[in-house]
Amino acid sequence: MLSYGLIEPDFSGDDTFFQEYLNELIAEIFDASVHFEQTEDDRMCSYCDFRYICNK
Protein backbone atom coordinates (compact mmCIF):
# COMPACT_ATOMS: atom_id res chain seq x y z
CA MET A 1 0.00 0.00 0.00
CA LEU A 2 1.18 3.52 -0.70
CA SER A 3 2.13 5.35 2.42
CA TYR A 4 4.26 8.27 3.52
CA GLY A 5 7.47 7.29 5.24
CA LEU A 6 8.12 3.90 3.65
CA ILE A 7 11.55 2.98 2.32
CA GLU A 8 11.71 3.57 -1.42
CA PRO A 9 12.34 0.43 -3.49
CA ASP A 10 15.59 0.21 -5.49
CA PHE A 11 14.77 -0.02 -9.20
CA SER A 12 18.30 0.42 -10.51
CA GLY A 13 18.94 -1.85 -13.46
CA ASP A 14 15.71 -3.86 -13.26
CA ASP A 15 13.07 -2.55 -15.66
CA THR A 16 10.87 -5.64 -15.23
CA PHE A 17 10.62 -5.15 -11.47
CA PHE A 18 9.87 -1.45 -11.96
CA GLN A 19 7.11 -2.16 -14.50
CA GLU A 20 5.49 -4.76 -12.21
CA TYR A 21 5.68 -2.42 -9.22
CA LEU A 22 4.20 0.45 -11.23
CA ASN A 23 1.36 -1.77 -12.46
CA GLU A 24 0.56 -2.79 -8.86
CA LEU A 25 0.48 0.85 -7.72
CA ILE A 26 -1.79 1.90 -10.56
CA ALA A 27 -4.12 -1.03 -9.90
CA GLU A 28 -4.30 -0.04 -6.22
CA ILE A 29 -5.11 3.58 -7.08
CA PHE A 30 -8.08 2.52 -9.21
CA ASP A 31 -9.27 -0.28 -6.87
CA ALA A 32 -12.50 0.96 -5.28
CA SER A 33 -12.21 -1.62 -2.49
CA VAL A 34 -9.00 -0.01 -1.16
CA HIS A 35 -9.92 2.55 1.49
CA PHE A 36 -8.25 5.96 1.29
CA GLU A 37 -6.98 7.09 4.69
CA GLN A 38 -6.37 10.76 5.33
CA THR A 39 -3.26 11.72 7.24
CA GLU A 40 -3.62 12.62 10.90
CA ASP A 41 -0.86 15.22 10.54
CA ASP A 42 -2.51 18.34 9.06
CA ARG A 43 0.93 19.81 8.33
CA MET A 44 1.27 17.26 5.53
CA CYS A 45 -1.73 18.85 3.80
CA SER A 46 -0.29 22.35 3.59
CA TYR A 47 1.74 21.43 0.48
CA CYS A 48 -0.58 18.81 -0.99
CA ASP A 49 -2.17 19.58 -4.37
CA PHE A 50 -5.08 17.26 -3.55
CA ARG A 51 -6.19 18.73 -0.20
CA TYR A 52 -9.32 20.21 -1.81
CA ILE A 53 -10.33 16.81 -3.15
CA CYS A 54 -10.13 15.02 0.21
CA ASN A 55 -11.46 18.06 2.14
CA LYS A 56 -8.75 17.86 4.76
- Decide if 11 contacts 18 (C-beta within 8 A): yes
Q: Is residue 24 part of a domain?
A: yes
pTM of the complete model:
0.48
pLDDT single digits (tens) 14-56? 788 889 989 999 999 899 998 888 889 989 898 888 888 888 7
Q: Give the pLDDT confidence score for residue 13 in this predicted structure.
A: 73
pLDDT single digits (tens) 1-15? 555 556 676 767 778
Q: Is residue 2 part of a domain?
A: no
Q: Is residue 21 part of a domain?
A: yes
Residue range of the domain that includes 36: 15-53
Please enumerate, as own/partner, the contacts of 37-44 that have beta carbons within 8 Å and a separation of 24 or more.
Answer: 39/4, 44/4
Domains of the chain: total: 1
Q: Is residue 29 part of a domain?
A: yes
